[in-house]
Chain A
Amino acid sequence: MGLKVMSLGAGLLLSFAAAAQAQSDWKSEWEKTLAAAEKEGEVALYGAYRSGVREAVSEFSKRYPKIKFNHVAGSGSELANKVMAEKRANRHFIDIAVGGSGTMVLVYFRGGLLEAMSSAFILPEVKDPSHWWGKKHHYADPEGGFVLMAQGDVNTRIGALNTKLVKADEIQSWWDLLSPKWKGKIVMTDPRSRGNIGNWRYIYYNPELGPDFVRRLLSETEVTFSSNERQMMDWLASGKYAIYVMAKDEDLAQAMKQGLSVDFLESRKEMAELGTGSGHIAFFKNAPHPNAARVYINWFLSREGQTAWQKYTGGNSFRADIPKEMLPNGKAQAPKEGQKYLFTSHPQYEDIRPLRRLVEEIFAARRK
Chain B
Amino acid sequence: MRMPAASLPFPGLRVRLRAVHLAESLMLVFFAVVMGLPVLFLLWSSLNVAAPGKEAVYGLANWIRGFSDQGTLSALWMSFLLSVVRLIPAMILSVMVAWLIARTDMPGGNTLEFLCWFAYFIPDFPLVLAWILLLDPSFGFLNALAGALPFVEGPVFNPYSFWGIVWVHTSTNGIWFKVMLLTPVFRRLGASLEEAARVAGASNLVTLRRITLPVLAPMVLAVAALSLIRGLESFNTELLLGLPAGIYVYATRIYDYTRQEPPAFGEATALGSVFLLVLVVLSYFYWRYLRGKRFIVVTGQAYSTMRVKLGKWRYWALAGCLVYFAVMMILPLSFLLIGSFMRRYGFFDIASPFTVAHWRNLFMDAIFLSSLKNSLIIATATALAGIVLYSTVGYLVASRKSRGAELLDLFCWLPWVVPGILMSLGLLWLFLATPLRSVLYGSVWGIALAMTIKDSPVSTQAFKAAFLQLGPDLEEAARVTGASWGYTYRRILLPLVAPIAATVGLLNFGSALTSISTPVLLYSAQSRPLSILLMEYSFTGELERAAALGLLITLIISAMVLAGRRLGLKLTGS
State the A residues within 8 Å of B (CB): 44, 49-52, 54, 58, 69-78, 80-82, 84-89, 91, 93, 100, 102-103, 106-107, 110-113, 190, 192-195, 198, 224-231, 234-235, 237-240, 250-251, 254-255, 258-260, 360, 363-364
Contact = CB atoms under 8 A, between A and B. Distances in A.
B243 A190 contact: yes
B70 A364 contact: yes
Contact of A70 (B265, B432, B525): B525
Given A70-B524, A238-B138, A260-B344, A75 B540 contact: no
B429 A89 contact: yes
A270 B260 CA distance: 29
B536 interface: yes
B53 A107 contact: yes
A111 B54 contact: yes
A195 B261 contact: yes
Nearest to A111: B53
A103 B520 contact: no
A220 to B, nearest CB: 17
Given A112-B53, A260-B344, A106 B262 contact: yes
19 contacts: A50-B539, A54-B536, A74-B520, A78-B520, A80-B52, A80-B263, A85-B521, A89-B433, A106-B262, A107-B262, A113-B53, A193-B259, A195-B256, A195-B259, A226-B240, A250-B541, A258-B350, A259-B344, A259-B350
A33 to B, nearest CB: 22
A71 B525 CA distance: 5
Interface in B205-239: 239
B258 A240 contact: no
Given A76-B261, A89-B429, A227 B239 contact: yes
Contact of B138 (A51, A102, A230, A239): A239
A11 to B, nearest CB: 50
A110 B136 contact: no
Given A71-B525, A78-B521, A251-B541, A89 B259 contact: no
Nearest to A225: B243
A88 B441 CA distance: 14
B414 interface: no
B147 interface: no
Given A77-B258, A103-B261, A239 B139 contact: yes
B53 A72 contact: no
Contact of A106 (B258, B261, B433): B261
Interface of B: 51-54, 70, 129, 132, 136, 138-139, 239-240, 243-244, 256-265, 343-347, 350-351, 366, 421, 425, 428-429, 432-433, 437, 441-442, 520-521, 523-526, 528, 532, 535-536, 539-543
A50 B537 CA distance: 9
Most buried by A among B429, B433, B525, B542: B525
A87 B432 CA distance: 10
B52 A110 contact: yes
B62 to A, nearest CB: 14
A106 B532 contact: no
A206 B469 CA distance: 69
B261 A230 contact: no
Most buried by A among B53, B139, B441: B53
Contacts of A226: 240, 243-244
The 10 closest A-B pairs by CB, nearest first: A111-B53, A102-B261, A89-B432, A195-B259, A70-B525, A194-B260, A49-B539, A77-B263, A259-B350, A240-B138
A248 to B, nearest CB: 8
A112 B129 CA distance: 43
Contacts of B542: 51
Given A228-B240, A258-B344, A89 B437 contact: yes
Given A72-B525, A110-B52, 20 more contacts: A49-B540, A50-B540, A69-B525, A70-B524, A72-B524, A74-B520, A75-B539, A77-B263, A78-B421, A80-B261, A86-B432, A93-B442, A103-B261, A110-B53, A194-B256, A227-B239, A231-B240, A238-B138, A238-B346, A240-B136
A254 B347 CA distance: 14
A81 B129 contact: no
B259 A75 contact: yes
A239 B263 CA distance: 36
A358 to B, nearest CB: 14
Contact of B541 (A71, A75, A111, A229): A229
Contact of B52 (A84, A190, A237): A84
A225 B139 contact: no
Contacts of A227: 239-240, 243
Contacts of A235: 138
Contacts of A70: 524-526
B525 A84 contact: no
A226 B136 CA distance: 14
A112 B54 CA distance: 9
A110 B256 CA distance: 22
A228 B239 contact: yes
A81 B536 CA distance: 18
A230 B339 CA distance: 14
Nearest to A68: B525
Contacts of A260: 344, 347, 350
Contacts of A194: 256-257, 259-261, 264
A190 B240 CA distance: 12
A254 B537 CA distance: 14
Nearest to B438: A91
B523 A85 contact: no
Nearest to A58: B366
A235 B136 CA distance: 10
B428 A81 contact: yes
Contact of B432 (A91, A251, A258, A259): A91
B261 to A, nearest CB: 4
A259 B521 CA distance: 37
Most buried by B among A71, A230, A240: A230
A195 B432 contact: no
B350 A238 contact: no
Nearest to A234: B346
Given A82-B428, A111-B52, A237 B263 contact: no
A80 B52 CA distance: 9
Contact of B429 (A85, A100, A106): A85
Most buried by A among B53, B261, B532: B261
A356 to B, nearest CB: 10
A106 B263 CA distance: 10
Contacts of A240: 136, 138-139
B259 A72 contact: no
B437 A77 contact: no
A351 B94 CA distance: 51
Contacts of A363: 70
Contacts of B437: 89, 91
Nearest to B137: A240
B526 A259 contact: no
A250 to B, nearest CB: 7
A110 B51 contact: yes
A112 B343 CA distance: 46
A81 B522 CA distance: 11
A255 B243 CA distance: 23
Contacts of A230: 129, 541, 543
A192 B257 CA distance: 11
Contacts of B350: 258-260
Contact of A77 (B261, B442, B524): B261
B53 to A, nearest CB: 2
B439 to A, nearest CB: 13
A251 to B, nearest CB: 5
A169 B85 CA distance: 49
B244 A224 contact: yes
Contacts of B129: 230-231
Nearest to B533: A73
A256 B380 CA distance: 43
